[in-house]
Structure 1
Amino acid sequence: MSGVRGRVGEALTPEVVATFAAGFGAWARGRHASHAIVVGRDSRVSGPMFHRVVLAALQSVGCDVIDIGMAPTPTVQLAVEHHHAAGGLAITASHNPVEWNALKFIAPTGLFLDGAESASMRASVEAGFARATWDQLGAVRTDTEACNRHLDQILALPFLDVPGIRGRQFSVALDCCHGAGATIVPRLLERLGCRVTAIGLETDGRFPRSPEPVAENLRDLEALVARTGADVGLAVDPDVDRLALVDEGGRAIGEDWTLALATRVVLRHRKGPVVTNLSTSRILDDVAERGGSRVIRAPVGEVNVAVRMRAERSPIGGEGNGGVILPELHLGRDAPVGVALVLQLLREDARPLSAIVGEYPRYAIVKDKLDRPAGSLEAVYDALKGAFPGATVDTQDGLRLSWPDRWVHVRPSGTEPIVRVIAEGPSAADARDLVRRSRAPLDALARA
């Protein structure tokens, strides 16, 4: 885990935040020449309170804080790299409901902490750490240009045809869900010459809907696209690392399409394998194959995908939840860069989004979860391998069984005491059947 999260006032209190922020700061400065830590937050109601706690906690262990204020999580990651800082802290619970908040710990590389780094940091927190004396306290300075730099870097991407996109004057409907996206996405669209109609631009953190950008939560955006005749609808989550799309007909196309469409355009300009996680739709395989590439799968989790992308020299990757990673910019999920890539695709193809999506096979994903049984999951995996003898087996992260047109992934959650069962097939009935058959040994273990 690369963070600490919980419901505000329950598992997540100012005391807990102070302990982990100070412990992370002491750990990070002990491993790096710099004593600087970049801090940013999303728009949540509890954000300002935890922001003040984090600043003081970091100062108390001698860290110099670079405060970028309310900003997308990818902007925090980029700022860590820009300032050559010892690390970063993003105060955000991403797509979780309003009563949640979290700390996300960022390494000097701009990546979230991997498993080994997280374990080392947590061990340091548990062992205790020294506080700075009065004359060694850290200082705080403000960086007001972080979002501007982020925008400039996106617009400077060599294959992004900014004049061509501006010339199209796309009509865009936007939903920022009262999150940090309102600080950057409207400005990006303006600089790309788009005509924008937006909802959810208030940055008060009082989300008007469930903040996860999945199809069932985008009804207002679908209606806005239909009412305005927009070319595309864009929805971002509160910390702006996920992007979902609505086509020109007012239909949410599903968050898996974001990475697939970004991949379609990038593979025209860059070559190499595409990296994603084990639970991402195989539509990405279809897109990559047509682009002369192939898909490599990593365990679920942004840092796992990013590390594999770096090792494989992948030009594009991410996760099927709407998270696009373009390493040419940085190795983190980035909704603004996803926005730019989708507009580039619409400019290059000069066809409606629905027509582009319509070129590919359709798949249905079904997701289920159940309380984790007390027994060993290895026995469950063995039973499933026996039940599906012709499947391709992947055991990097739980068990994934795949066939040419369908797959199922059974894995324990890294954040909750549950097991997730995710399946995809040519139809919802096919996917449901895979989930049902894959749940059977789990249900049997729970009854034992």
Structure 2
Amino acid sequence: TGPLFHAVTKAALQSVGADVIDIGLTSTPTLQLAVEHHHSDAGIIVTASHNPIEWNALKFLNHEGIFLDEAQVQKLFSIVDNRQFKWQGYAGVGTISQSSGADDGHIQAILDLDCIDVELVRKRKFKVAYDGVNGAGSLIVPRLLEKLGCQIHAVHVEPNGIFPHIPEPTPENLSDLRNLVLQKKCDVGFATDPDADRCALVNEHGEAIGEEYTLALAVEFMLRRRKGPVTVNLSTSRMVEDIAAKHGVKAARAKVGEVNVTVAMRENGSVIGGEGNGGIILPDLHYGRDGILAVAMTLQNLAERGATVSTLVSEIPSYHIDKRKFELGGKSLTELYAHLENTFAGAEVDRRDGLRFAWDRSWVHVRPSNTEPVARIIAEAPNREEAERLCLTVEKR
């Protein structure tokens, strides 16, 4: 349904007098940068991200290329519900112009970052495997890898939106990439979700290390260069807190959702932030999650350390994180929350976004999904058994 949504969205904008710049099939972070580049009043992305193929949606950006916050979303809905817009006659219909340079601009912006040494990365001649899940990253990531002098082995890079496997880049969905890394003896494997704002890693042994490490490794990488606050969401691994403490800086937490993390980052002057689902936010580039950036930062990290992915991972305190979705079975979240407050009495409680219970070395977070009609449980502990126990305690409710 992508072409349908694309055509209807453009026509609707024209009908109320808006001039549309169509940058074509591209990633979410690329469009975010394009809004800034073109000094646009807003941006719209047609994508359902990692949701199943039968889903589609619109993502709305403000004039800075940042997702609308809650107040802005409510204002938008109010305008639509109350018909606070005017259909234009023939003379007032908006124009459409095509722009084909967005991917090139995004790649160059990444290569121009102070933290990326293109020549250093090129000298390593990395062998890289990539799974684009037939999404928007299929176009831009191989081009970035080529610029960085990598030998590329790619799978699922036909940008037709027909997902060859479940598109969320979690370990259980990356068997094709893992096999490719082993077959081609690659240094690293990258997987992006359909709109490429998230990136997951596979190490040189063909092991999917988990999305949480994408951000954790990036935070370690940046804090070696520049000290400053870090902001992540409430569901992100505490690895980031440990890394921040090691560098003598503060790690703050925000509600789940890119815009919530972005707002907090701007308020506290974070040098890096993101979400533990593989989404890195680097203010030096843009206030938005960027899976393409994650590829470049990971390769730079490997190049300057002269290390393998496994070595970098081994230097970070290890936890086990368990992420689950569950149906409420007719019960309300309010009932569940009340039950859990009694069950986990004595824990540190954060009520900003669902309920998050924390102890010295473990935590569990229960909240409604922002993208699917389910609730989510995320638990983390030093070992698998404890993380599973926390999840099961919630599920049994």
Q: Secondary structure at the match of 1:267?
A: helix
Q: Does 1:332 align with 2:288?
A: yes
Tell me if 1:247 matches 2:200.
no
Q: Matches of 1:186 and 1:291 in 2, distance apart?
A: 34
Name the aligned partner's letter for residue 169 of structure 2. Answer: P
Runs (5+) with no aligned partner, structure 1: 1-45, 442-448
Determine whether 1:430 maps to 2:386.
yes
Q: Does 1:217 align with 2:173?
A: yes
- Listed one character per residue, the Cα deviations across residues 85-129 of structure 1 (whole Å, up to 9, x for unaligned) are 110000011111222111101111111111100011001101112
% same residue: 52
- The partner residue of 2:98 within 136, 142, 150 is 142
Correspondence for 2:46: 91
Match of 1:390 in 2: 346
The aligned counterpart of 1:69 is 24
Question: Residue 367 and residue 182 in structure 1: after superposition, are their counterparts in 2 closer, same or farther (change >3 A)?
Answer: closer
Superposed CA RMSD: 1.6
Gaps of 5+ in 2: none
For 1:342, which of 272, 292, 298 is the aligned residue?
Answer: 298
1:186 partnered with 2:145? no
Determine the structure 1 residue equivalent to 2:58. Answer: 103
TM alignment of 1:5-404, pairs within 5 A:
46-128=1-83, 129-372=85-328, 377-378=333-334, 380-404=336-360
Equivalent position SS for 1:166: helix
Counterpart-to-counterpart distance in 2, 1:220 and 1:150 = 27
Q: CA deviation at 1:414?
A: 3.5
Query: Contact (CA 8 Å) 1:88, 1:106: kept in 2 or not?
Result: yes
CA distance in 2, matches of 1:394, 1:388: 12
**Could you tell me whether the CA contact under 8 Å between 1:372 and 1:412 is conserved in 2?**
no
Amino acid at match of 1:154: I
Deviations 1:388-423, CA, capped at 9 Å, x for gaps: 333222111111111121100111233444332221
Q: CA deviation at 1:364?
A: 1.7
Q: Deviations over 1:206-265 (max 9, x none)?
A: 211111111011101101111111110011111110100000011000011000111111
CA shift for structure 1 position 436: 2.3
> 1:204 is aligned with what amino acid?
N
The answer to whether the 8 A contact 1:62-1:137 is kept is: yes
Specify the alignment match of 1:418 in structure 2. Answer: 374
- Contact kept, 8 Å, 1:372 with 1:417, in 2: the verdict is no
Distance in 1, matches of 2:23 and 2:70, equals 27
TM-superposed CA distance for 1:53, in Å, is 1.2
The one-letter code matched in structure 2 to 1:103 is L
Counterparts of 1:375 and 1:235 in 2: how far apart (Å)? 36
Instruction: Report the 3-state secondary structure (helix = DSSP H, G, I; strand = E; otherwise coil) of the residue aligned with 1:184.
Output: helix
Secondary structure of 1:327's match? coil
In 2 relative to 1, CA 435–417 (structure 1 residues): closer, same or farther, beyond 3 Å? same
Count the aligned residue pairs.
Answer: 396
Which deviates the most, 305-314 or 288-297? 288-297
Output the TM-score relative to the length of structure 2: 0.96
User: What TM-score comes out, normalization by structure 1 length?
Assistant: 0.85
How many angstroms apart in 2 are the aligned matches of 1:323 and 1:209? Answer: 20
Deviations along 1:53-72, whole A, 9 cap, x unmatched? 11111100000000000000
Report the residue type matching 2:273 in the other structure. G
Structure-2 separation of matches of 1:84 and 1:395: 38
- CA–CA separation in structure 2 for the residues paired with 1:117 and 1:283: 33
**d(CA) in 2 for partners of 1:189 and 1:59?**
37
User: CA deviation digits over 1:165-193, x for unaligned, max 9?
Assistant: 11111111111111111221111111111
Shift of 1:293: 2.3
Q: CA deviation at 1:384?
A: 2.9
1:378 Cα shift? Answer: 4.8
